[in-house]
Amino acid sequence: MLAQAAQLWDMEPEFWDIWGNHHVPGPDVQRAILSALGVDCSSTESLGQAIAARMNEEWGAALPPTVVLACETPLPLQLRLHSVEPVTVEITCEDGAVIAELIQPEDPSEERLVNGRRIFSCRVPVASSVPMGYHRIRILDGAHAIATSLLIVAPVKAYLPPELEAGGSAAGVAVSLYGVRSARNWGCGDFTDLRALLGWMTDLHAGFLALNPLHAIDNRQPYNISPYLPNSSFFRNPIYLDVEAVPEFALSPAAQRLRAHPAVAREIEACRDAEYVEYERVWRLKRLFLQLLHRQFRLRAGPGRREAFAAYAASQGERLRRFATYCALWDHLHRRDRNLWIWPDWPAPYRDPDSPAVAEFARTHARHIEFHQYVQFVLDEELASVQRQAREMGAIGLYHDLALATDRCGADLWAYRPLYVSGCRVGSPPDGFSPDGQDWAFPPPNAHKLREDGYRFFIDSIRANSRHGGALRMDHVMRLFRLYWIPDGMPARKGAYVRDFAEDLLHILALESHRGQFFLVGEDLGTVAGHIRHALERHRILGCKVLFFEKHPDGRFRRPEEYGRNALVSSTTHDLATLAGFWTNRDIEARRNASLLPDGDSYRRQLAERVADKQALLDVLHELGLLPPGFSRNAAEIPELTGELHNAVIGFMVRTPSIVMVLNQEDLTKETEQQNLPGSTWQYPNWKRKMKYSVEQLRADKAALDFAGMFRNWLDRGGRRLGRQ
């Protein structure tokens, strides 16, 4: 019965890890996950009742609450009916047009007895042309409506820019925006720096800039600065604002006087000169100025400016209202009690966003809530301006990144708790980096509740993060298919995969990408079932090919022609060694220094594996003729990433047939330290590293210009100058 219930609640009965080991979740894991989903597993009788209710619920409705169909003629609509008599299918399109047809269902493909009545599963071919979009559908038996649902009609394949669809290829540079240095920023990269980087991008003949997630985070070190564990995935981090570029700054004498104050100038200079990004100090400064700018907006904004703010707030609706209310509540409660850091510790009435206490707070603190709405408004303005500039330059522009996780103590969990499952955490099974599995410590989404809500949460997250960009990367794209759930109280190795409505989500992604005209990349590294990659390719979502991982079972590196076209090829990721760090073993030493290796044997084994990997990489570069005659064929004789090796590796990636190539900025400029060391917090300066070269130096320093020239030469030779004018 546990196995039957697990299947009904979408739990996979088995899985294979990256070594091919077979895992079957035990009854204790099944029972714990089912209990988290609200299934009473306390007795055989209660479990049987839950199973019967689930089956009746599934078959008792003619349509699910949300129906997602491929844009085909006829539409492949499947109904569950009490008879196979003709029914009326009425579709109200999002533009208000109504399509109604009387249709004869086809012969049933399956039937069941539910509450004593026979139910037939029938295909109902809707012959009329229904446009792509978000519609309402009603099924009528005579004058009686037997089902009403949201109908989403979507293309199968996601958007690609015309040049890529016609066989072209593109390249970009990945930049951690927080770490961008310049002579004018306040100690953290901002959107004005991003404008300057667009000019550098054109120097490289690249087509886009790939960014870290820009999600709102708490900006508190060391635990609340990861861009992959956001406070909210719908809104952005105001630390990236150029305060002096906000329109109200030029109109605010108070802000200008404060900026000219010697103490403020010294603090900005100290943050700018700091070795690492000082998140709290930078945000404290910017917040002080933004409060002055908000006051200027309230007192002096003209009608056009007010209308622009109102239009933005209306476009973001309830999501913005809830996020701003959360931020204002956090400010208010933390000011009263400096030891109060997370909403689960708030007084009970404030933990519920729909409580009378929260409504009263919103009424009495409207100005404070508006401040946080204003901050998001000016953020959106600045980012939109950067992407417009990129488009005017003929480039794809900005490549955004959508994190998988959301902080369990953050705004999204406070605002939308019913859409998550308590009692479990998301993670990953054992793999080469984590032999005991990984526990990511955030709750899984409730797929059925998300579908009941018309997938609005998913749709809005895609829109929020693709807005003002030409590409969107989805971290851990396997989420669309399944997530690894770990019951509370159990170690990461004791978990199970729980499925999601993958085909629905893939079609929605394709629809949104066409509407927003951005291409999609799915990060598919780790434990990935074969059918997942096939589905991504079918829907034209690019998979990821990381140089370090693309090897044959015998350890040989794959040649460029062995890479697939439907992919993004990259030198590394933020969680892996840089090219220079790989060659000098800096990542292994960093793990050792952070006490992340269990013993000396692990350290020695990783060093030995690295010796073999470097030799295998050197061998394939020689085979391809990418290294000059006379260059050593023994990796042990090459202590660092030389200019010849650097040039050869980049040439290798450019020569792959993959549609898109990304080079990390650290790999262009031969930096040795990676941005994040998985498994560490305070032991390593995660998410804080600044670029080796400032924005100004990138276009003036001889070494930086040499790196740029080398990359530009390869892109020109490899035909990856997409969109250049």
Half-sphere exposure of 580 (CA within 13 A, CB side): 14
81's tokens: 């009916």
Instruction: Please tell me the predicted confidence (pLDDT) of residue 19.
Output: 80
How far is it, in rounded angstroms, from Cα 325 to Cα 372? 8
Whether 82 and 121 have beta carbons less than 8 Å apart is answered as no
The reported pLDDT for the residue numbered 266 is 98
Show the beta-strand stretches assigned E in 365-440.
Answer: 397-402, 424-428, 438-439
Nearest alpha carbon to residue 181 among 168, 169, 192: 192
- % pLDDT > 90, the chain: 89
Q: How far apart are the first and last CA of the chain?
A: 64
Q: How far apart are alpha carbons 535 and 566 in whole angstroms?
A: 12
DSSP at 276: B
DSSP label of 245: G
Closest CA to 615 of 639, 630, 636: 636
- Domain spans in the chain, listed from the N-terminal domain onward: 2-58, 72-154
d(CA 224, CA 96): 45
Distance between CA atoms of 543 and 688, rounded to whole angstroms?
28
Task: Say yes or no to pLDDT of 725 above 80.
Answer: no
DSSP string, 532-580: HHHHHHHTT-BEEEEGGG-B-TTSPBPPGGGS-SSEEEES--TTS--HH
Burial class (CB in 10 A: 0-12, 13-18, 19+), 460: middle
- Of 14-28, 390-404, 467-481, 511-525, least confident by mean pLDDT is 14-28
- CB-based contact 205:212 (threshold 8 Å): no
pLDDT band at 113 (very low <50, low <70, confident <90, very high): confident
Confidence of residue 613 (pLDDT cuts 50, 70, 90): very high
CA distances from 581 to 49, 434, 585, 667 (A): 58, 20, 6, 9
Q: How confident is the model at residue 723 (pLDDT cuts 50, 70, 90)?
A: low
Average pLDDT score over residue span 423-430 = 92
Task: Evaluate if residue 241 carries a pLDDT over 90.
Answer: yes
DSSP 478: G
Helix (H) or strand (E) holding 652: helix 643-654
Q: Beta partners for 426?
A: 485
For residue 57, the model assigns a pLDDT of: 87
Q: What is the rounded distance in angstroms from the CA atom of residue 541 to the CA atom of residue 333?
A: 43
How many Cα atoms are found within 13 Å in the side-chain-facing hemisphere of 723? 25
CA 106, CA 360: separation in Å to the nearest integer? Answer: 55
Single out the residue of 43, 47, 111 nearest to residue 80, CA to CA. 111
Q: Exposure of 372 by Cβ count < 10 A (0-12 exposed, 13-18 middle, 19+ buried)?
A: buried
pLDDT, average across residues 450-468: 97
Structural element, H or E, at residue 91:
strand 87-92
What number is the average pLDDT over the span 13-34?
A: 91
pLDDT of residue 248 exceeding 60, the answer is yes
| Largest CA-CA distance found in the chain, in angstroms, rounded | 85
Phi first, then psi, for residue 77 (nearest 5°) are -85, 130
As a whole number, mean pLDDT of residues 106-112 equals: 90
Rounded Cα–Cα distance for residues 429 and 436 (Å): 7
Q: How many CA atoms lie within 13 A of 414 on its CB side?
A: 29
Query: What tens digit of pLDDT does each residue of 596-605 get?
Result: 988 899 999 9
Between CA 493 and CA 427 the distance in angstroms is 9
For the cut 90, the answer to whether the pLDDT of residue 59 exceeds it is no
According to the model, what pLDDT value does residue 434 have? 72
Q: Is the model's pLDDT at 449 over the cut of 90?
A: yes
pLDDT at 724: 47
- Class of domain 72-154 as given by CATH: mainly beta
Q: What angle do CA 342, 478, 663 make, to 5 degrees?
A: 90
b/e 639-672 (16+ beta carbons within 10 angstroms → b): eebeeebbbbbbbbbbbbebbbbbbbbbbbbbbb
Mean pLDDT (whole number) for 510-533 = 93
Rounded Cα gap, residues 590 and 680, in angstroms: 10
Q: Which of 55-69, 365-379, 645-659 has the lowest mean pLDDT?
A: 55-69
pTM over cut 0.85: yes
- By the 10 Å C-beta count (0-12 exposed, 13-18 middle, 19+ buried), 637 is classed as exposed
496 sits in which H/E element:
strand 496-499
pLDDT per position as a tens digit, 222-233: 989 999 999 999
Instruction: Please give the full DSSP string across 246-274, using - where no structure is assigned.
Output: SHHHHH-HHHHHHHHSHHHHHHHHHHHHS
Q: Are strands 424-428 and 438-439 parallel, antiparallel or unpaired?
A: antiparallel
Q: List, for residues 694-712, the tens digit of each pLDDT value.
A: 999 999 999 999 999 999 9
Give CA 440 to chain center in angstroms: 15
- Residue 675 main-chain phi, psi, to 5 deg: -75, -35
Residue 529: pLDDT band (50, 70, 90) is: confident
Find the helix or strand (DSSP H, E) in which 88 lies: strand 87-92
What does the CA dihedral 253, 259, 262, 268 come to, rounded to 10 degrees? Answer: 170
Q: Strand (E) positions, 322-459?
A: 397-402, 424-428, 438-439
What's the CA gap between 432 and 661, in Å, rounded? 25
- For 25, 219, 407, the CA distances from 687, given in Å and listed in that order, are 35, 11, 16
